[in-house]
Structure 1
Amino acid sequence: MRCLVRAIETGSFSAVARELGIGQPNVSRHIASLEKALGTRLLHRSTRQLVATAEGQRYYAQARQALELIAQAESDARGQQKPQGLLRVACAPTLGTEKIITALPAFLARYPDVEVELRLSDSYIDLIAEGVDIAVRGGVLKDSSLRARRVGTSERICVASAGYLDRHGTPEQPADLLQHQCLIYTLMAGGGGWPFKDGAVHVQGRVRLNSLDGIRKAVMQDLGIAYLPSWTIAEQLRSGELRPLLTAYSAGRSPLNAVYAAERLLPQRAAVFIDFISAVFAATPGLDGRSIVP
């Protein structure tokens, strides 16, 4: 059952073999034996990919929950009340490196039987396919297969360096951005429009990046106007190295959520991690629900 679940999630017998340490032929034999016992095909196999059949998808959803329940029952039977096991967390690189990794020593000291694997990417991650327990994501949850718990709020603002503004002037209203070089975040939802309280402005610019950290560095190099989470540039705003723009037109804060698969039992290690990062973000200017600009 475990082999089938992870084969569907990873799409690879070899990945399951490495994870479970049993060899790829054994993975194939286990799944074939399961299919024989059930009297139905659970996977379509080809040289390029594994795809679950309709029966396989239904079996997977219940098998995944069963495995979580078995793990919890075994833990309870052993009297192990403390969180334990491997926790897989996905989040954006900037948030992961600057807030989560820096807080990890305290978390690992508090929960010595938990291991943490971070998947740092600005791209959308399929939690089921990647075997991820929690993803930390901004915005309103739209996927009905996921559940979410708010762990903070994030405020995005327009900023530019003093050098850029000295050379090109300061925009007074959102429409003025169309006359400026704007730093484009290529992974931004909504087609790249920058939202303001009266509507989005579809900006343009000569520099495009798929990383918020890259955009932060680019705006500090006088390359254009950026639209960034305020917490990522709190230090530069305090020092005056970057200046906030168009704050009267701000679209407001958006939720930052810990999301997880609705069909899974949330492991205890994941629940305590969500509590932990909620406290971390509550102590972080720009993520704590309060604005860091006037």
Structure 2
Amino acid sequence: MDRFLLMTCFARAVETGSFSAAARDLGLGQPNVSRHVAALEDHLQTRLLHRSTRKLALTSEGERYYAEVRRILDAVDESESSFRENTDPSGLLRVACPTALAHKFVLPHVPAFLERYTGVTLDLQINDRYVDLINEGAELAIRIGHLEDSALRARRIGGFERVCVASKAYLAKYGTPNTPAELRSHNCVIYTLLASGTTWRFRDTEIQVSGRFRVNSPEAVRESVAAGLGIGIGPQWLYEDGLRDGTLQLLLEQYTAPPVPVQIVYVAKRLLPKRAIAFMDFIEEAFSAVPALNTNSKPPQV
């Protein structure tokens, strides 16, 4: 039994979404890929994939096993490439990234990255949940905030100020808070995936806030604040259009906390493939030219 072949078939079936697509990718017949994955399940004595006429889906055991298999295949690939000194980065690279940051700053640079590294396939996983790099098979994650997991390493690629804002219509109706403590008596729009929860951090103080609207999207927070549903907090670049056209107003500027870092994180003990290093270098260079990620100045207001 060629377990390396079985693992390769399983991984490509997961990544392409079907046995037929995996077969085309690997140059094997579809029945062979299906048979190899079944043989792997029989060897492990566990079901790895739910099969249907429409798609494949990982079982909970399959999710754990895929993460391990992906690490093994990546390690083999990188070990081999290390003996080929002049090889270009290649293979599948999985990168997790928060939604707002991805859409505004990462996606615009993807075409140039793929054009420069023609052998790399980029799987950009855009979502705001915490992605466990150790167990979920991604090589890199772009994260906002300070690194707290000792199993990871981080490269800082930028930073921004987190500002407090409200629409001028809201402030005209409910008044303007002059200190962070006064936020307790205001309706605040809660971003439910914020690491600190309903605790908003300012310079030298933290305030527990509340509000009648909660949402798991930073863009939705911005739209809700613009609609007058309450006061919001978030990256200054998220609100720059509203601040520029005068519909939004900065609050509590003298209490703004120190800049929040933007970092690329990876597993400390994992061998990073060339494609991951190339991506980190590329994004760091791209972000260094973005003023919104490299300044402590306030966004423009009218």
Normalising by the residue count of structure 1, what TM-score does the alignment of the two structures yield?
0.81
Paired residues for 1:162-201 under 5 Å: 162-201=168-207
Shift of 1:274: 1.1
Comparing 171-180 with 20-29, greater Cα deviation is found at 20-29
**Aligned residue for 1:37?**
none
Does residue 50 (structure 1) correspond to residue 50 (structure 2)? The answer is no
Residues paired across the two proteins, number: 279
Flag the 1:20–1:205 CA change in 2: closer, same or farther, 3 A: same
Distance (whole Å) between structure 2 residues aligned to residue 5 and residue 292 of structure 1: 50
**Aligned residue for 2:216?**
210
Paired residues for 1:107-146 under 5 Å: 107-146=113-152
Flag the 1:136–1:221 CA change in 2: closer, same or farther, 3 A: same
Which amino acid counterpart does residue 110 of structure 1 have in structure 2?
R
Distance (whole Å) between structure 2 residues aligned to residue 5 and residue 177 of structure 1: 54
Question: Once the two structures are superposed, what CA deviation does each residue of 1:45-81 show, in whole Å capped at 9, x if it has no partner?
Answer: 699642899xx9xxx97x8666434313443556652
Shift of 1:292: 2.7
Paired residues for 1:91-102 under 5 Å: 91-102=97-108
Alignment equivalent of 1:290, drawn from 282, 292, 296:
296
Shift of 1:155: 1.6
Name structure 2 gaps, 5 residues minimum: 24-31, 51-58
Alignment equivalent of 1:159, drawn from 150, 160, 165:
165
Provide the aligned C-alpha RMSD in A.
3.3
Paired residues for 1:262-277 under 5 Å: 262-277=268-283
Which amino acid counterpart does residue 68 of structure 1 have in structure 2?
D
Flag the 1:5–1:181 CA change in 2: closer, same or farther, 3 A: farther
Alignment equivalent of 1:240, drawn from 235, 246, 250:
246
Question: Once the two structures are superposed, what CA deviation does each residue of 1:97-155 show, in whole Å capped at 9, x if it has no partner?
Answer: 11111111221222222221111111111224332111111112122222211111132
Distance (whole Å) between structure 2 residues aligned to residue 186 and residue 274 of structure 1: 29
For the Cα contact (< 8 Å) 2:198–2:210, is it kept in 1?
no
Distance (whole Å) between structure 2 residues aligned to residue 51 and residue 106 of structure 1: 34
Shift of 1:161: 1.3
Alignment equivalent of 2:263, drawn from 257, 261, 271:
257
Flag the 1:78–1:249 CA change in 2: closer, same or farther, 3 A: closer
Distance (whole Å) between structure 2 residues aligned to residue 118 and residue 92 of structure 1: 10
- Percent identity among equivalent residues? 40
Distance (whole Å) between structure 2 residues aligned to residue 144 and residue 19 of structure 1: 38
Flag the 1:114–1:145 CA change in 2: closer, same or farther, 3 A: same
Name structure 1 gaps, 5 residues minimum: 34-41
Distance (whole Å) between structure 2 residues aligned to residue 98 and residue 197 of structure 1: 27
Flag the 1:119–1:66 CA change in 2: closer, same or farther, 3 A: closer
Shift of 1:91: 0.8
Shift of 1:238: 2.8
For the Cα contact (< 8 Å) 1:6–1:131, is it kept in 2?
no
Question: Once the two structures are superposed, what CA deviation does each residue of 1:150-196 show, in whole Å capped at 9, x if it has no partner?
Answer: 11113211011111112221110001111211100111122321011
Comparing 174-183 with 282-291, greater Cα deviation is found at 282-291
Flag the 1:86–1:179 CA change in 2: closer, same or farther, 3 A: same
**Aligned residue for 1:36?**
none
Distance (whole Å) between structure 1 residues aligned to residue 84 and residue 270 of structure 2: 22
